[in-house]
Amino acid sequence: MMSDSPGKKMAEAAVKKSIAESMMGEAPDGLARTRISEKAAQAGREAENEVKREMRGVKMAKGGTVKSSASKRADGCAVKGKEVGTILEVDLAQPLLPGKTTLLTLDFNGQVPVQIRRSGRNNKEGVELSMAQWYPKMAEFDFEGWHADPYIAREFHGVWGNYDVKITIDKNYILGGTGYLQNKNEIGYGYADEGVTVTIPKKQKTLTWHFLAPNVHDFTWAADKEYLHDKLLTEEGVTLHFLYKNNPKIIETWKKAQKYTAEILTFYNKMVGKYPYEQYSVIQGGDGGMEYAMCTSVLGEGELNGFIGLIAHEFGHSWFQHVLASNESKHGWMDEGFTSFIEDTVMNQFAEKKAANPYAGAYKGYVDMVKSGKEQPLSTHADRFDINRCYSISSYSKGEIFLSQLIYLIGKDKLMQTLRRYYEDFKFKHPTPNDIKRTAERVSGANLDWYLTDWTQTTNTIDYGIATVAANDADATQTKVTLERIGRMPMPIDLLVEYNDGSKESFYIPLRMMSFEKENPTPNIKRTVLSDWAWAFQNYSFTLSKPKNSIKQISIDPSGLMADVKKENNTFVQ
Protein backbone atom coordinates (compact mmCIF):
# COMPACT_ATOMS: atom_id res chain seq x y z
CA MET A 1 0.00 0.00 0.00
CA MET A 2 1.23 3.52 -0.78
CA SER A 3 -0.10 6.52 1.11
CA ASP A 4 -0.54 10.12 -0.11
CA SER A 5 3.05 10.63 1.12
CA PRO A 6 4.62 7.90 -1.00
CA GLY A 7 8.19 8.60 -0.02
CA LYS A 8 7.58 8.34 3.71
CA LYS A 9 6.25 4.82 3.94
CA MET A 10 7.93 1.63 2.91
CA ALA A 11 6.38 -0.35 0.07
CA GLU A 12 6.04 -4.02 0.76
CA ALA A 13 5.47 -6.82 -1.64
CA ALA A 14 6.11 -10.48 -2.07
CA VAL A 15 7.57 -11.72 -5.29
CA LYS A 16 7.04 -15.33 -6.21
CA LYS A 17 8.83 -16.98 -9.04
CA SER A 18 8.51 -20.36 -10.68
CA ILE A 19 11.51 -21.22 -12.80
CA ALA A 20 11.79 -23.92 -15.39
CA GLU A 21 15.14 -24.09 -17.09
CA SER A 22 16.06 -26.23 -20.03
CA MET A 23 19.55 -27.38 -20.87
CA MET A 24 19.92 -24.21 -22.93
CA GLY A 25 19.27 -22.15 -19.83
CA GLU A 26 15.96 -20.59 -20.79
CA ALA A 27 13.95 -19.63 -17.72
CA PRO A 28 10.32 -18.88 -18.60
CA ASP A 29 7.75 -17.17 -16.47
CA GLY A 30 9.92 -14.71 -14.55
CA LEU A 31 8.47 -12.23 -12.11
CA ALA A 32 11.57 -10.85 -10.56
CA ARG A 33 14.89 -9.35 -11.81
CA THR A 34 16.16 -12.09 -9.65
CA ARG A 35 19.16 -13.56 -11.22
CA ILE A 36 20.12 -17.04 -10.47
CA SER A 37 23.69 -18.23 -10.68
CA GLU A 38 24.34 -21.91 -11.14
CA LYS A 39 27.66 -23.38 -10.09
CA ALA A 40 26.71 -26.76 -11.34
CA ALA A 41 23.55 -28.26 -12.77
CA GLN A 42 25.06 -31.56 -13.66
CA ALA A 43 22.96 -34.59 -13.15
CA GLY A 44 22.71 -33.67 -9.49
CA ARG A 45 23.96 -36.96 -8.21
CA GLU A 46 27.18 -35.58 -6.77
CA ALA A 47 26.70 -34.52 -3.20
CA GLU A 48 29.08 -31.55 -3.50
CA ASN A 49 27.05 -29.95 -6.32
CA GLU A 50 25.64 -26.59 -5.34
CA VAL A 51 23.12 -24.66 -7.35
CA LYS A 52 23.22 -20.98 -6.64
CA ARG A 53 20.66 -18.44 -7.49
CA GLU A 54 21.47 -14.73 -7.59
CA MET A 55 18.63 -12.30 -7.11
CA ARG A 56 19.07 -8.83 -8.36
CA GLY A 57 17.90 -6.09 -6.01
CA VAL A 58 17.50 -2.64 -7.48
CA LYS A 59 19.38 0.25 -5.91
CA MET A 60 16.91 3.09 -5.88
CA ALA A 61 18.84 5.96 -4.27
CA LYS A 62 20.99 7.01 -1.34
CA GLY A 63 19.22 5.80 1.74
CA GLY A 64 16.40 4.50 -0.43
CA THR A 65 17.47 1.03 -1.48
CA VAL A 66 15.24 -1.97 -2.07
CA LYS A 67 16.21 -4.44 0.63
CA SER A 68 15.34 -8.07 1.11
CA SER A 69 14.06 -9.19 4.48
CA ALA A 70 15.02 -12.29 6.39
CA SER A 71 12.30 -14.20 4.58
CA LYS A 72 13.83 -15.95 1.60
CA ARG A 73 12.36 -19.32 0.73
CA ALA A 74 12.74 -21.93 -1.99
CA ASP A 75 9.90 -24.44 -2.20
CA GLY A 76 8.87 -23.42 1.31
CA CYS A 77 12.35 -23.96 2.81
CA ALA A 78 14.37 -21.10 4.25
CA VAL A 79 17.51 -20.38 2.25
CA LYS A 80 20.57 -18.20 2.77
CA GLY A 81 21.38 -15.19 0.67
CA LYS A 82 24.29 -12.82 0.15
CA GLU A 83 23.92 -9.22 -1.02
CA VAL A 84 26.69 -7.59 -3.04
CA GLY A 85 25.77 -4.13 -4.29
CA THR A 86 22.54 -4.56 -6.24
CA ILE A 87 22.92 -8.34 -6.48
CA LEU A 88 21.38 -10.89 -4.13
CA GLU A 89 22.75 -14.40 -4.48
CA VAL A 90 20.74 -17.21 -2.94
CA ASP A 91 21.83 -20.81 -2.31
CA LEU A 92 19.03 -23.22 -3.12
CA ALA A 93 18.11 -25.87 -0.60
CA GLN A 94 18.24 -28.53 -3.35
CA PRO A 95 19.99 -28.59 -6.74
CA LEU A 96 17.74 -27.50 -9.58
CA LEU A 97 17.96 -30.01 -12.40
CA PRO A 98 17.26 -29.34 -16.09
CA GLY A 99 13.54 -29.35 -16.81
CA LYS A 100 12.60 -29.07 -13.13
CA THR A 101 11.11 -26.13 -11.26
CA THR A 102 11.49 -24.37 -7.97
CA LEU A 103 9.39 -21.68 -6.32
CA LEU A 104 11.27 -18.73 -4.85
CA THR A 105 9.56 -16.41 -2.40
CA LEU A 106 11.19 -13.14 -1.35
CA ASP A 107 9.76 -10.51 0.95
CA PHE A 108 11.31 -7.09 0.37
CA ASN A 109 10.66 -3.47 1.22
CA GLY A 110 11.86 -0.22 -0.25
CA GLN A 111 11.69 3.53 -0.04
CA VAL A 112 10.64 5.59 -3.05
CA PRO A 113 13.18 8.41 -3.45
CA VAL A 114 12.63 11.82 -4.95
CA GLN A 115 12.98 11.31 -8.73
CA ILE A 116 16.43 10.11 -9.65
CA ARG A 117 17.64 8.41 -12.81
CA ARG A 118 14.68 6.42 -14.19
CA SER A 119 12.63 6.09 -11.02
CA GLY A 120 11.19 7.90 -8.04
CA ARG A 121 8.55 10.36 -6.87
CA ASN A 122 7.72 13.98 -7.64
CA ASN A 123 9.68 14.43 -10.86
CA LYS A 124 10.40 17.87 -12.29
CA GLU A 125 7.06 17.93 -14.13
CA GLY A 126 5.18 17.08 -10.94
CA VAL A 127 4.37 13.41 -11.60
CA GLU A 128 3.99 11.76 -8.21
CA LEU A 129 5.19 8.19 -8.83
CA SER A 130 7.39 6.83 -11.62
CA MET A 131 7.88 3.23 -10.56
CA ALA A 132 10.60 1.67 -12.69
CA GLN A 133 13.23 -0.82 -11.47
CA TRP A 134 11.27 -1.06 -8.23
CA TYR A 135 11.41 -4.78 -7.38
CA PRO A 136 13.93 -7.66 -7.35
CA LYS A 137 14.19 -9.13 -10.82
CA MET A 138 15.40 -12.47 -12.07
CA ALA A 139 18.61 -12.16 -14.04
CA GLU A 140 19.15 -13.97 -17.29
CA PHE A 141 20.95 -17.28 -17.74
CA ASP A 142 21.83 -18.36 -21.27
CA PHE A 143 24.48 -20.18 -23.29
CA GLU A 144 27.05 -17.60 -22.12
CA GLY A 145 26.25 -18.19 -18.44
CA TRP A 146 24.76 -15.76 -15.95
CA HIS A 147 24.27 -12.06 -16.62
CA ALA A 148 24.21 -10.61 -13.11
CA ASP A 149 25.28 -7.08 -13.97
CA PRO A 150 24.80 -4.51 -11.20
CA TYR A 151 22.04 -2.06 -12.07
CA ILE A 152 23.47 1.46 -12.33
CA ALA A 153 20.47 3.22 -13.91
CA ARG A 154 21.53 2.52 -17.46
CA GLU A 155 20.71 -0.56 -19.53
CA PHE A 156 19.17 -3.81 -18.34
CA HIS A 157 18.61 -7.38 -19.44
CA GLY A 158 15.90 -9.68 -18.17
CA VAL A 159 13.98 -12.92 -18.24
CA TRP A 160 10.59 -13.15 -19.90
CA GLY A 161 7.79 -14.11 -17.59
CA ASN A 162 4.09 -13.88 -16.90
CA TYR A 163 3.44 -11.12 -14.36
CA ASP A 164 0.47 -11.11 -12.01
CA VAL A 165 0.63 -7.80 -10.13
CA LYS A 166 -1.74 -6.19 -7.65
CA ILE A 167 -1.06 -2.62 -6.56
CA THR A 168 -3.03 -1.26 -3.63
CA ILE A 169 -2.88 2.52 -3.51
CA ASP A 170 -4.94 5.50 -2.41
CA LYS A 171 -8.12 5.62 -4.49
CA ASN A 172 -7.41 9.06 -5.99
CA TYR A 173 -4.38 7.86 -7.92
CA ILE A 174 -4.67 7.04 -11.63
CA LEU A 175 -2.24 4.38 -12.85
CA GLY A 176 -0.74 3.34 -16.15
CA GLY A 177 1.96 0.89 -17.08
CA THR A 178 2.75 -2.65 -18.17
CA GLY A 179 0.05 -5.25 -18.66
CA TYR A 180 -3.70 -5.55 -19.00
CA LEU A 181 -5.94 -4.22 -16.25
CA GLN A 182 -8.12 -7.11 -15.09
CA ASN A 183 -10.62 -5.20 -12.97
CA LYS A 184 -11.16 -2.16 -15.18
CA ASN A 185 -14.89 -2.03 -14.45
CA GLU A 186 -14.10 -1.72 -10.74
CA ILE A 187 -11.41 0.94 -11.29
CA GLY A 188 -12.83 3.32 -13.89
CA TYR A 189 -10.56 6.30 -14.63
CA GLY A 190 -11.02 5.79 -18.37
CA TYR A 191 -10.32 2.05 -18.34
CA ALA A 192 -13.91 0.81 -17.92
CA ASP A 193 -15.84 -0.67 -20.81
CA GLU A 194 -17.99 1.72 -22.81
CA GLY A 195 -21.29 2.37 -21.05
CA VAL A 196 -20.02 1.25 -17.63
CA THR A 197 -20.12 3.83 -14.86
CA VAL A 198 -17.82 3.16 -11.91
CA THR A 199 -18.67 4.65 -8.54
CA ILE A 200 -16.19 4.37 -5.69
CA PRO A 201 -17.73 4.69 -2.20
CA LYS A 202 -16.64 7.79 -0.33
CA LYS A 203 -15.63 5.74 2.70
CA GLN A 204 -13.34 3.52 0.63
CA LYS A 205 -9.75 4.70 0.99
CA THR A 206 -7.86 2.54 -1.52
CA LEU A 207 -8.16 0.72 -4.80
CA THR A 208 -6.35 -2.45 -5.80
CA TRP A 209 -5.28 -2.41 -9.45
CA HIS A 210 -4.84 -5.91 -10.84
CA PHE A 211 -2.60 -6.30 -13.91
CA LEU A 212 -1.65 -9.36 -15.92
CA ALA A 213 1.31 -9.04 -18.28
CA PRO A 214 2.18 -12.14 -20.31
CA ASN A 215 5.58 -12.80 -21.81
CA VAL A 216 7.41 -9.64 -20.76
CA HIS A 217 10.75 -9.17 -19.02
CA ASP A 218 9.88 -6.09 -16.99
CA PHE A 219 6.97 -4.49 -15.15
CA THR A 220 6.72 -0.72 -14.75
CA TRP A 221 3.98 1.63 -13.61
CA ALA A 222 3.33 5.27 -12.82
CA ALA A 223 0.67 7.03 -10.79
CA ASP A 224 -0.62 10.54 -10.31
CA LYS A 225 -3.82 12.06 -8.97
CA GLU A 226 -4.01 14.59 -11.84
CA TYR A 227 -3.52 12.28 -14.81
CA LEU A 228 -5.78 12.64 -17.80
CA HIS A 229 -6.29 9.32 -19.57
CA ASP A 230 -7.05 9.01 -23.28
CA LYS A 231 -7.49 5.78 -25.25
CA LEU A 232 -7.12 5.12 -28.97
CA LEU A 233 -7.92 1.82 -30.66
CA THR A 234 -5.65 1.34 -33.69
CA GLU A 235 -6.44 -0.42 -36.97
CA GLU A 236 -4.30 -3.32 -35.72
CA GLY A 237 -6.54 -3.79 -32.68
CA VAL A 238 -3.95 -2.43 -30.23
CA THR A 239 -5.24 -0.03 -27.57
CA LEU A 240 -3.00 2.98 -27.05
CA HIS A 241 -3.23 4.65 -23.63
CA PHE A 242 -2.02 8.21 -22.99
CA LEU A 243 -1.64 9.35 -19.38
CA TYR A 244 -0.52 12.94 -18.80
CA LYS A 245 -0.90 15.76 -16.31
CA ASN A 246 -3.95 18.00 -16.46
CA ASN A 247 -1.76 20.91 -17.52
CA PRO A 248 -3.39 23.29 -20.06
CA LYS A 249 0.03 24.03 -21.60
CA ILE A 250 0.54 20.43 -22.77
CA ILE A 251 -2.93 19.03 -23.46
CA GLU A 252 -3.00 20.06 -27.14
CA THR A 253 0.42 18.52 -27.80
CA TRP A 254 -0.58 15.25 -26.15
CA LYS A 255 -3.84 15.15 -28.13
CA LYS A 256 -2.07 15.76 -31.46
CA ALA A 257 0.62 13.17 -30.71
CA GLN A 258 -1.94 10.37 -30.44
CA LYS A 259 -2.62 9.90 -34.16
CA TYR A 260 1.12 9.95 -34.85
CA THR A 261 1.62 7.22 -32.27
CA ALA A 262 -0.91 5.06 -34.09
CA GLU A 263 0.85 5.74 -37.40
CA ILE A 264 4.19 4.84 -35.83
CA LEU A 265 2.75 1.48 -34.74
CA THR A 266 1.49 0.79 -38.27
CA PHE A 267 4.82 1.81 -39.82
CA TYR A 268 6.93 -0.34 -37.45
CA ASN A 269 4.62 -3.31 -37.91
CA LYS A 270 5.27 -3.16 -41.65
CA MET A 271 8.96 -2.32 -41.38
CA VAL A 272 9.98 -4.79 -38.67
CA GLY A 273 7.12 -7.10 -37.69
CA LYS A 274 3.89 -7.30 -35.73
CA TYR A 275 3.76 -5.79 -32.25
CA PRO A 276 2.67 -8.80 -30.17
CA TYR A 277 0.80 -7.16 -27.30
CA GLU A 278 -2.72 -5.76 -27.03
CA GLN A 279 -1.86 -2.41 -25.48
CA TYR A 280 0.84 0.26 -25.27
CA SER A 281 0.89 3.19 -22.86
CA VAL A 282 2.62 6.56 -23.27
CA ILE A 283 2.97 7.92 -19.74
CA GLN A 284 4.22 11.28 -18.54
CA GLY A 285 6.81 10.53 -15.87
CA GLY A 286 10.42 9.67 -15.17
CA ASP A 287 13.43 11.81 -16.02
CA GLY A 288 13.55 11.87 -19.82
CA GLY A 289 12.44 8.99 -21.99
CA MET A 290 12.79 5.31 -21.16
CA GLU A 291 11.36 2.15 -22.63
CA TYR A 292 9.58 -0.52 -20.63
CA ALA A 293 7.37 -3.49 -21.41
CA MET A 294 4.15 -2.30 -23.08
CA CYS A 295 4.85 1.31 -22.07
CA THR A 296 7.20 4.24 -22.02
CA SER A 297 7.86 6.88 -19.38
CA VAL A 298 8.54 10.29 -20.94
CA LEU A 299 8.83 13.93 -20.00
CA GLY A 300 5.80 15.55 -21.55
CA GLU A 301 6.21 19.33 -21.77
CA GLY A 302 8.18 19.58 -25.02
CA GLU A 303 7.12 20.87 -28.46
CA LEU A 304 5.17 18.58 -30.76
CA ASN A 305 7.84 17.49 -33.26
CA GLY A 306 10.37 16.64 -30.59
CA PHE A 307 7.69 14.86 -28.57
CA ILE A 308 6.69 12.72 -31.55
CA GLY A 309 10.36 11.86 -32.10
CA LEU A 310 10.67 10.84 -28.45
CA ILE A 311 7.61 8.59 -28.72
CA ALA A 312 8.92 7.13 -32.01
CA HIS A 313 12.19 6.21 -30.31
CA GLU A 314 10.78 4.80 -27.08
CA PHE A 315 7.99 2.90 -28.84
CA GLY A 316 10.60 1.47 -31.24
CA HIS A 317 12.33 -0.16 -28.30
CA SER A 318 9.31 -2.46 -27.96
CA TRP A 319 10.55 -4.40 -30.98
CA PHE A 320 14.27 -4.46 -30.14
CA GLN A 321 14.52 -4.30 -26.35
CA HIS A 322 11.32 -6.04 -25.32
CA VAL A 323 10.55 -8.60 -28.04
CA LEU A 324 13.95 -9.42 -29.54
CA ALA A 325 15.61 -8.39 -26.26
CA SER A 326 19.29 -8.67 -27.08
CA ASN A 327 21.49 -8.09 -24.05
CA GLU A 328 21.50 -4.30 -23.95
CA SER A 329 24.18 -4.21 -21.28
CA LYS A 330 26.63 -6.09 -23.51
CA HIS A 331 25.36 -4.98 -26.91
CA GLY A 332 23.59 -1.67 -26.39
CA TRP A 333 24.04 -0.82 -30.08
CA MET A 334 21.69 -3.66 -31.08
CA ASP A 335 18.86 -1.95 -29.23
CA GLU A 336 19.62 1.78 -29.14
CA GLY A 337 21.18 1.81 -32.60
CA PHE A 338 18.52 -0.28 -34.32
CA THR A 339 15.76 1.69 -32.58
CA SER A 340 17.38 4.95 -33.73
CA PHE A 341 17.41 3.58 -37.28
CA ILE A 342 13.67 2.90 -37.41
CA GLU A 343 12.96 6.17 -35.55
CA ASP A 344 14.84 8.23 -38.15
CA THR A 345 13.13 6.27 -40.91
CA VAL A 346 9.60 6.94 -39.65
CA MET A 347 10.34 10.57 -38.78
CA ASN A 348 11.56 11.09 -42.34
CA GLN A 349 8.21 9.70 -43.51
CA PHE A 350 6.43 12.31 -41.39
CA ALA A 351 8.63 15.17 -42.66
CA GLU A 352 7.22 17.51 -45.29
CA LYS A 353 10.63 17.63 -46.99
CA LYS A 354 12.16 14.16 -47.16
CA ALA A 355 15.91 13.82 -46.53
CA ALA A 356 17.97 11.84 -49.04
CA ASN A 357 19.88 10.39 -46.09
CA PRO A 358 17.70 10.47 -42.95
CA TYR A 359 20.56 8.97 -40.93
CA ALA A 360 23.02 11.81 -41.62
CA GLY A 361 22.97 12.97 -37.98
CA ALA A 362 24.25 9.59 -36.83
CA TYR A 363 27.18 9.79 -39.26
CA LYS A 364 28.11 13.27 -38.04
CA GLY A 365 28.06 12.17 -34.40
CA TYR A 366 30.16 9.11 -35.19
CA VAL A 367 32.81 11.10 -37.12
CA ASP A 368 33.01 13.66 -34.31
CA MET A 369 33.65 10.85 -31.84
CA VAL A 370 36.39 9.37 -34.04
CA LYS A 371 38.08 12.75 -34.29
CA SER A 372 37.98 13.10 -30.50
CA GLY A 373 40.31 10.12 -30.16
CA LYS A 374 38.14 8.68 -27.38
CA GLU A 375 36.19 6.04 -29.28
CA GLN A 376 35.96 2.54 -27.80
CA PRO A 377 34.76 -0.59 -29.63
CA LEU A 378 31.02 -1.33 -29.74
CA SER A 379 31.81 -4.56 -27.92
CA THR A 380 32.56 -2.49 -24.77
CA HIS A 381 30.08 -3.22 -21.98
CA ALA A 382 27.58 -0.35 -21.59
CA ASP A 383 28.65 0.27 -18.00
CA ARG A 384 32.36 0.45 -18.80
CA PHE A 385 32.80 3.21 -21.35
CA ASP A 386 35.32 5.81 -20.20
CA ILE A 387 32.93 8.71 -20.81
CA ASN A 388 29.16 8.79 -21.20
CA ARG A 389 29.28 10.76 -24.47
CA CYS A 390 31.18 7.97 -26.19
CA TYR A 391 28.76 5.38 -24.82
CA SER A 392 25.85 7.37 -26.25
CA ILE A 393 27.37 7.99 -29.69
CA SER A 394 28.59 4.41 -29.93
CA SER A 395 25.29 2.79 -28.96
CA TYR A 396 22.92 5.19 -30.70
CA SER A 397 24.84 6.56 -33.69
CA LYS A 398 27.41 3.91 -34.57
CA GLY A 399 24.80 1.23 -33.84
CA GLU A 400 22.37 2.98 -36.20
CA ILE A 401 25.04 3.15 -38.89
CA PHE A 402 25.52 -0.63 -38.61
CA LEU A 403 22.11 -0.92 -40.31
CA SER A 404 22.16 2.14 -42.58
CA GLN A 405 25.59 1.13 -43.88
CA LEU A 406 24.16 -2.28 -44.75
CA ILE A 407 22.03 -0.39 -47.27
CA TYR A 408 25.32 0.65 -48.85
CA LEU A 409 26.73 -2.89 -48.64
CA ILE A 410 23.81 -5.10 -49.72
CA GLY A 411 21.10 -2.69 -50.88
CA LYS A 412 18.00 -1.18 -49.26
CA ASP A 413 15.62 -3.99 -50.20
CA LYS A 414 17.96 -6.63 -48.76
CA LEU A 415 18.42 -4.63 -45.56
CA MET A 416 14.66 -4.31 -45.06
CA GLN A 417 14.23 -8.03 -45.72
CA THR A 418 16.98 -8.65 -43.16
CA LEU A 419 15.19 -6.62 -40.49
CA ARG A 420 11.91 -8.46 -40.98
CA ARG A 421 13.51 -11.90 -41.03
CA TYR A 422 15.68 -11.07 -38.00
CA TYR A 423 12.57 -10.11 -36.04
CA GLU A 424 10.60 -13.14 -37.15
CA ASP A 425 13.42 -15.61 -36.47
CA PHE A 426 14.64 -14.22 -33.15
CA LYS A 427 11.70 -12.65 -31.33
CA PHE A 428 11.68 -13.76 -27.67
CA LYS A 429 15.11 -15.40 -28.13
CA HIS A 430 17.71 -12.84 -26.96
CA PRO A 431 19.70 -12.61 -30.24
CA THR A 432 23.42 -11.82 -30.28
CA PRO A 433 25.47 -9.81 -32.82
CA ASN A 434 26.17 -12.95 -34.81
CA ASP A 435 22.42 -13.46 -35.32
CA ILE A 436 21.87 -10.15 -37.13
CA LYS A 437 25.01 -10.77 -39.18
CA ARG A 438 23.95 -14.27 -40.18
CA THR A 439 20.45 -13.07 -41.02
CA ALA A 440 21.87 -10.43 -43.38
CA GLU A 441 24.11 -13.09 -44.93
CA ARG A 442 21.21 -15.49 -45.45
CA VAL A 443 19.08 -12.80 -47.05
CA SER A 444 21.78 -11.30 -49.28
CA GLY A 445 24.24 -14.12 -49.92
CA ALA A 446 27.11 -11.80 -48.94
CA ASN A 447 29.92 -12.69 -46.56
CA LEU A 448 29.67 -10.14 -43.73
CA ASP A 449 31.87 -11.60 -41.00
CA TRP A 450 34.54 -8.98 -41.70
CA TYR A 451 31.91 -6.24 -41.35
CA LEU A 452 30.68 -7.40 -37.94
CA THR A 453 34.28 -7.74 -36.74
CA ASP A 454 35.65 -4.40 -37.96
CA TRP A 455 32.58 -2.32 -37.14
CA THR A 456 31.77 -3.71 -33.68
CA GLN A 457 34.96 -5.22 -32.26
CA THR A 458 37.56 -2.66 -33.35
CA THR A 459 37.85 1.09 -33.82
CA ASN A 460 39.11 0.67 -37.39
CA THR A 461 37.84 3.50 -39.56
CA ILE A 462 36.80 3.83 -43.20
CA ASP A 463 38.78 6.35 -45.24
CA TYR A 464 38.98 6.14 -49.02
CA GLY A 465 40.32 8.86 -51.28
CA ILE A 466 40.76 9.73 -54.93
CA ALA A 467 44.55 9.72 -55.24
CA THR A 468 44.99 10.79 -58.88
CA VAL A 469 42.98 11.49 -62.01
CA ALA A 470 45.25 11.71 -65.07
CA ALA A 471 45.27 11.24 -68.83
CA ASN A 472 46.07 7.67 -69.76
CA ASP A 473 49.70 7.49 -70.91
CA ALA A 474 48.82 4.94 -73.55
CA ASP A 475 45.76 6.78 -74.90
CA ALA A 476 45.03 10.45 -74.22
CA THR A 477 41.33 9.92 -75.00
CA GLN A 478 41.09 7.89 -71.82
CA THR A 479 41.50 8.78 -68.15
CA LYS A 480 43.21 6.74 -65.45
CA VAL A 481 41.67 7.02 -61.98
CA THR A 482 43.57 5.76 -58.93
CA LEU A 483 41.84 5.31 -55.58
CA GLU A 484 43.49 4.69 -52.21
CA ARG A 485 42.39 3.01 -49.01
CA ILE A 486 43.75 5.07 -46.11
CA GLY A 487 41.68 3.68 -43.21
CA ARG A 488 42.05 0.13 -41.92
CA MET A 489 38.47 -0.94 -42.61
CA PRO A 490 37.88 -2.14 -46.19
CA MET A 491 34.67 -1.52 -48.14
CA PRO A 492 33.23 -2.02 -51.62
CA ILE A 493 33.18 1.25 -53.57
CA ASP A 494 30.37 3.08 -55.37
CA LEU A 495 31.76 5.78 -57.69
CA LEU A 496 29.86 8.41 -59.67
CA VAL A 497 31.41 10.21 -62.65
CA GLU A 498 29.71 13.37 -63.94
CA TYR A 499 30.73 14.85 -67.29
CA ASN A 500 30.66 18.39 -68.61
CA ASP A 501 27.92 17.50 -71.09
CA GLY A 502 25.57 16.60 -68.22
CA SER A 503 25.84 12.83 -68.63
CA LYS A 504 26.66 10.50 -65.73
CA GLU A 505 27.89 6.97 -65.24
CA SER A 506 28.60 4.94 -62.11
CA PHE A 507 31.15 2.28 -61.25
CA TYR A 508 31.02 -0.43 -58.62
CA ILE A 509 34.12 -2.06 -57.17
CA PRO A 510 33.18 -5.19 -55.18
CA LEU A 511 35.12 -6.09 -52.05
CA ARG A 512 36.67 -9.47 -52.65
CA MET A 513 36.11 -10.79 -49.12
CA MET A 514 32.34 -10.13 -49.46
CA SER A 515 31.94 -12.56 -52.38
CA PHE A 516 29.00 -10.40 -53.42
CA GLU A 517 27.82 -8.01 -56.12
CA LYS A 518 25.22 -5.45 -55.07
CA GLU A 519 22.33 -4.55 -57.34
CA ASN A 520 22.58 -1.13 -58.95
CA PRO A 521 21.12 1.35 -56.39
CA THR A 522 20.55 3.95 -59.17
CA PRO A 523 19.17 1.98 -62.14
CA ASN A 524 18.55 5.20 -64.08
CA ILE A 525 22.33 5.67 -64.30
CA LYS A 526 24.44 3.25 -66.33
CA ARG A 527 26.69 1.22 -64.02
CA THR A 528 29.88 -0.70 -64.80
CA VAL A 529 30.96 -3.43 -62.38
CA LEU A 530 34.76 -3.44 -62.19
CA SER A 531 37.05 -6.21 -60.94
CA ASP A 532 37.06 -6.69 -57.17
CA TRP A 533 39.43 -5.00 -54.73
CA ALA A 534 41.23 -7.27 -52.26
CA TRP A 535 41.53 -5.74 -48.80
CA ALA A 536 45.33 -6.12 -48.63
CA PHE A 537 45.95 -3.68 -51.49
CA GLN A 538 45.90 0.01 -50.60
CA ASN A 539 45.58 1.29 -54.18
CA TYR A 540 43.23 0.50 -57.04
CA SER A 541 43.26 1.88 -60.60
CA PHE A 542 40.80 1.74 -63.47
CA THR A 543 40.33 3.53 -66.79
CA LEU A 544 37.53 5.78 -68.03
CA SER A 545 36.82 5.77 -71.75
CA LYS A 546 36.63 9.57 -71.92
CA PRO A 547 39.38 12.22 -71.73
CA LYS A 548 40.15 14.02 -68.50
CA ASN A 549 38.98 17.41 -69.80
CA SER A 550 35.46 15.99 -70.26
CA ILE A 551 35.12 15.20 -66.56
CA LYS A 552 33.27 17.60 -64.27
CA GLN A 553 33.36 15.61 -61.02
CA ILE A 554 34.16 12.17 -59.60
CA SER A 555 32.62 11.19 -56.24
CA ILE A 556 33.13 8.21 -53.94
CA ASP A 557 29.83 7.13 -52.31
CA PRO A 558 27.40 9.80 -53.54
CA SER A 559 24.73 8.30 -51.24
CA GLY A 560 26.64 9.27 -48.08
CA LEU A 561 25.83 5.88 -46.53
CA MET A 562 29.43 4.74 -46.19
CA ALA A 563 30.85 6.05 -42.91
CA ASP A 564 34.00 7.56 -44.41
CA VAL A 565 35.65 9.68 -41.72
CA LYS A 566 37.32 12.08 -44.16
CA LYS A 567 34.85 13.11 -46.86
CA GLU A 568 37.06 15.88 -48.25
CA ASN A 569 39.23 13.40 -50.17
CA ASN A 570 36.23 11.60 -51.68
CA THR A 571 35.68 14.06 -54.52
CA PHE A 572 37.64 15.20 -57.57
CA VAL A 573 36.41 18.42 -59.20
CA GLN A 574 37.78 20.34 -62.16
pLDDT of residue 440 exceeding 70: yes
pLDDT at 194 over 60: yes
pLDDT cut 90: percent of the chain above it: 75
Q: What's the whole-model pTM score?
A: 0.88
β-strands 81-84, 87-91: how paired? antiparallel
Average pLDDT score over residue span 29-50 = 29
pLDDT band at 29 (very low <50, low <70, confident <90, very high): very low
Mean pLDDT of 9-15: 28
Closest alpha carbon to 59 in 125, 12, 120, 107:
120
Distance CA 1, CA 14 (A): 12
- Quick one: average pLDDT of 421-439? 98
Q: Is the pLDDT of residue 19 over 60?
A: no
Q: What is the DSSP letter of 375?
A: -
Q: Residue range 531-559: average pLDDT?
A: 97
Alpha helices in 320-411 (DSSP H): 332, 338-350, 360-372, 388-392, 399-410
Q: What is the pLDDT of residue 257?
A: 98
| Count of CA atoms in the C-beta half-sphere (13 A) of 33 | 24
Q: What is the pLDDT of residue 380?
A: 97
149 secondary structure, DSSP code: P
**In this predicted model, what pLDDT tens digit does every residue of 75-112 receive, in sequence order?**
888 888 888 888 988 888 888 898 999 888 888 888 89
Mean pLDDT of the region 237-243: 98
Is residue 566's pLDDT more than 70? yes
Q: How confident is the model at residue 57 (pLDDT cuts 50, 70, 90)?
A: very low
pLDDT of residue 66: 52
The packing angle between helices 338-350 and 399-410, to 10°, is: 70
